C-alpha cells in the first residue's frame, strides 16, 4: 500500500493498532502489510479499514491464501 509521505508515521501507527495486521516492511512511502483473519468477512472489513485510514493513497493485493490451519496442524 502507498501512503501520503507527510502522513506516513500516522498511517503506520494506525495500522499497528489494528488486530491481525503486521507491517512487514516499509520502503519509502510504501508499506507491506500482512493481514491475518479468521474469515473472509473480517479480511474485507480490515482491508477496508486500512484503505479508509487518513493518508492512505492506495492499497493493492499481492498475495492471498486461504487455509484451515487448525485442520492442517
Partner 1 sequence: MTVSRRDFIKHCAAAAAVTSLPLGLSRSTEAANAAPLTATALDASLEWGKAPCRFCGTGCGVMVGVKDGKVVSVAGDELNPVNKGLLCIKGYSLPGILYGEDRLTTPQIRNNGKLKDATWDEALDLVANKFKESVDQHGPKSVAMYGSGQWTITDGYAALKWFKGGIGSNNVEANARLCMASAVTGFITTFGADEPMGCYDDFEKADAFVLWGNNMAEMHPVLFSRLLERRRKASWVKIHDMATRRTPTTEWADVHYSMEPQSDLAIANAIARIIINTGRYDKKFINEHTVFKSGKENIGYGLEDNFNFKDAPKAMTFAEYSKYVQKYTPAHVEEISGIPAAKIKQLAEVYADKFTKVVSLWCMGMNQHNRGTWINNLVYNLHLLTGKICAPGNNPLSLTGQPSACGTVREVGTLAHRLPSDMVVMKPRHREIAANIWGVPISNINPKPGYNTVEMFRAFDRGDIKVMWTQTTNPMVSMPNLIRYREGAQKDGRFLVVSEIYPTPTTEVADVVLPAAMWVEREGMFGNTERRTQQWNKLVDPPGEAKSDAWQTIEVAKRMGYADLFKYGEQTYERELFEEYRQFTLGTGHDLGTYDQYIAARGLRWPVVDGKETPWRYTSKYDPYVTKGKKIEFYSNKKTGGKAVVWARPYEPAPEVPDNEFPFWLCTGRVLEHWHTGSMTRRVPHLHRAVPEAYVEMNAKDAADNGIQDGEKVRVKSRRGELELKVVLNGKGKPRRGSVFVPFFDEGKLINEVTLDSYCPISKEPDYKKCAVKIEKLKAI
Please give the residue ranges that form the binding site for partner 1 (CB under 8 A): 2, 22, 24-25, 27-30, 32-34, 36, 39-41, 43-45, 47-48, 57-58, 60-67, 69-70, 72-73
- Distance in Å, CB of 9 to partner 1, minimum: 17
- In DSSP terms, 15 is beta-bridged to none
Nearest partner of 18 among 58, 48, 63, 39, judged by Cα:
48
- Distance in Å, CB of 17 to partner 1, minimum: 19
Contact call for residues 62 and 15 (beta carbons, < 8 A): no
- Distance in Å, CB of 10 to partner 1, minimum: 18
φ, ψ dihedrals at 20, nearest 5°: 75, 10
Amino acid at each position: 500500500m502507498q501512503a501520503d509521505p507527510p502522513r506516513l508515521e500516522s498511517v503506520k501507527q494506525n495500522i499497528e493498532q489494528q488486530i491481525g495486521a503486521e507491517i512487514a516492511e516499509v520502503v519509502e512511502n510504501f508499506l507491506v502489510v500482512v493481514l491475518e483473519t479468521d474469515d473472509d468477512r473480517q479480511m474485507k472489513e480490515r482491508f477496508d479499514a486500512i484503505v479508509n485510514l487518513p493518508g492512505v493513497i492506495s492499497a493493492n493485493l499481492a498475495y492471498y491464501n486461504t487455509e484451515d490451519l487448525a485442520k492442517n496442524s
